[in-house]
Structure 1
Amino acid sequence: MNTLPDDSTLIELSLADYSDTDIARMYGVTQQAVTKRLAAMNIQRRGAKGASSIVARYLPWDISGRDDVKRLNNQAAYTGLRYFIREKLEGRLTPRGEFAVGVFKRNLMKGFVVDFDDAEGFVYRERRKEDGNLVVRWPSGQAGLTEDVLRVLVWDQDSGESGDA
């Protein structure tokens, strides 16, 4: 019978953004076993206090109270944006994150930005002049475009990499 690693290793994997399913596969156990063990350590995965809330502080849209928040969190444009932000903040990604941010950057290179539409959710739209070097379409008149936000949401188009403002 396979077993999970010690608590510190399990916490490290969780913080490295490995899903419960990924961890379960690594150790030959069920996803439920991983979830139960993390819950016993009072570690909340995903949701309002997880990765999405870290991303939310850099974005002009608040999706936290929406009925379709799970659908929105799983959209490709938002997933790529989330990993783009994590890469800027932490400098490291899981293989899943590297794939998602690679797709995201290819869309940026094709001339797209992420926008939010109430009906469609997070979508790629053609870049406009007013988007500048941002990876998102910041709503006109929306407050919150601080230096800290710019540091995370600016795309260095010349190098094809994320860059500081």
Structure 2
Amino acid sequence: MAKLPSDAELRKMFHLGWKDDALAAQYGVKKQAANRRRIRMGLYQKPTATRVTEMVNEAWDVKTTSGGDSHHAQRPLQAMKYFIRQQLGDQLSPPQERRVQNLLDRLAREGAVLDYNRDTGIRFVPRAPEDGRRVMRWPEGKDLPSQELQAAMELPSPVGEG
């Protein structure tokens, strides 16, 4: 009978980004067995949309208010979050996929990156060398997120090259 690794090894694999289905395949157990063990150990996976929103809000402190001057629903910001979710393996709806494609087309056409200002909201700004291939300008002095999230922020090919 197949068996999952020790708690210490499983915890290490979880923090390296292993998902339940990958653990199950690696150790020849059902996905549900890997899931039960992880939860019993107190290791919880956040939905991808939540992880992306938390990362963006931590980087940019996006203005969310009950009044009309909230920035969290601006279309380019939503499209950027859809793009990152898609890169992380989330399935998007056809309208979300169209928003992502429109965003990528505009970034390539303008040689731009998304930036955020709490007073004015999201904006397209010229891409600078320090932006690399990221879809968003990372704030100076802020720690970058996990390697997985950093990779998900990268455009599929360098902007301006085709």
TM-score by length of 2: 0.58
Aligned residue in 2 for 1:87: 86
Q: 1:65-144, aligned counterparts within 5 Å?
A: 66=65, 71-110=70-109, 111-144=111-144
Q: Tell me, what secondary structure is at the counterpart of 2:99?
A: helix
Cα displacement string for residues 39-94 of structure 1 (whole angstroms, at most 9, x for unaligned residues):
xxxxxxxxxx9876332233212336655698422212101101101211225210
Aligned residue in 1 for 2:55: 58
Aligned residue in 2 for 1:155: 155
Any stretches of 5+ residues in structure 2 without a counterpart?
Answer: 1-45
Q: How big is the shift at 1:113?
A: 0.8
Structure 1 Cα separation of the partners of residues 54 and 144 of structure 2: 9
Task: Kindly indicate whether the alpha-carbon contact (under 8 Å) linking 1:80 and 1:104 is maintained by their aligned counterparts in 2.
Answer: yes
The answer to which of 61-70 and 84-93 deviates more is 61-70
CA separation of 1:100 and 1:70: change in aligned 2, threshold 3 A: farther
| Matched positions, count | 112
Task: Kindly indicate whether the alpha-carbon contact (under 8 Å) linking 1:72 and 1:122 is maintained by their aligned counterparts in 2.
Answer: yes
Q: How big is the shift at 1:159?
A: 8.6
Higher relative CO (Cα under 8 Å, sequence separation at least 6) belongs to 2
Which structure would you say has the larger Rg? 2
- RMSD value, Cα: 2.9
- 4+ residue runs over 4 A deviation: 49-52, 64-70
Structure 1 Cα separation of the partners of residues 121 and 159 of structure 2: 29
The percent identity for this pair of structures is: 26
Structure 1 Cα separation of the partners of residues 67 and 143 of structure 2: 25
Q: 1:17-32, aligned counterparts within 5 Å?
A: none
CA separation of 1:119 and 1:58: change in aligned 2, threshold 3 A: same
Amino acid at match of 2:61: D
